[in-house]
Amino acid sequence: MITSTGENAATTAEYKATTVEKDNSVLGKDDFMALLLVQLQNQDPTEPTDTATILTQTSQLASLESAENTNNSLEGLSTTLGASQEFSTIAAIGKMADLGGDVISHDEGTISTFEIYFSDDIEQGSVNITDNNGNVVQTIDIPTASAGVHKFNWDGKDSAGNIANSGVYSVTANYINSDQNSLSTRLGVYPIESIKFDNGKSLAKVGSNYVPIESISEIY
């Protein structure tokens, strides 16, 4: 049963409209017009303000109004463009994102976890972990699996069972699909599954993580 508390989103304090205070340190077009009218009303009848002065002040008022309208238009355009750029990233859903590298940073004595995307079903294959000299440090067998993003754990040891040094290691994979074709893939390339907006930033879901759009080096 749903009970009513007598409050709703329109009456609670956090949703009530706040009062916007006017900045009295800046003269707007309405203030300028008011000053002009006061000046005309209180001028000396024996020495009225000459026409040239009135035209000059009127021209200044028109310029002020034009500048204010231009600023308002630019602010509105900026807001519209910002929203448009955010939502334009939605078009990236379903495309491939390249994060610009195939390496992991490994700390000695720890387990490194990473994800690799396979575009085809896997009959058999292996993941190769290579040091920065191009030497294969460890090979991880890939079990039969369907296409998609798969997670792997490296125990941090080389093929001889020795603990690998801390450093940067490259991760690639070679596999055979159900049609017996040899394929390869690498760390850092994933399909973009969704786009999330967070505090004005666009985040793309690649694998199990969300990354900023600007951190993606290529979308194709």
Q: Do the strands 148-154 and 136-142 form a parallel or antiparallel pair, or are they unpaired?
A: unpaired
Q: Which pLDDT band holds residue 23 (cuts at 50, 70, 90)?
A: low
Backbone angles phi, psi at 150, to 5 degrees: -125, 145
The pLDDT assigned to 49 comes to 56
DSSP structural state of residue 9:
T
Distance CA 86, CA 91 (A): 10
Distance CA 149, CA 173 (A): 12
Could you report the per-residue pLDDT of 63-86, keeping only the tens digit for each?
766 777 777 667 655 554 455 556
Could you report the per-residue pLDDT of 156-198, keeping only the tens digit for each?
999 999 999 999 999 999 999 999 999 999 999 999 999 998 8
Buried b (16+ CB within 10 A) or exposed e, 68-95: eeeeeeeeeeeeeeeeeeeeebeebeee
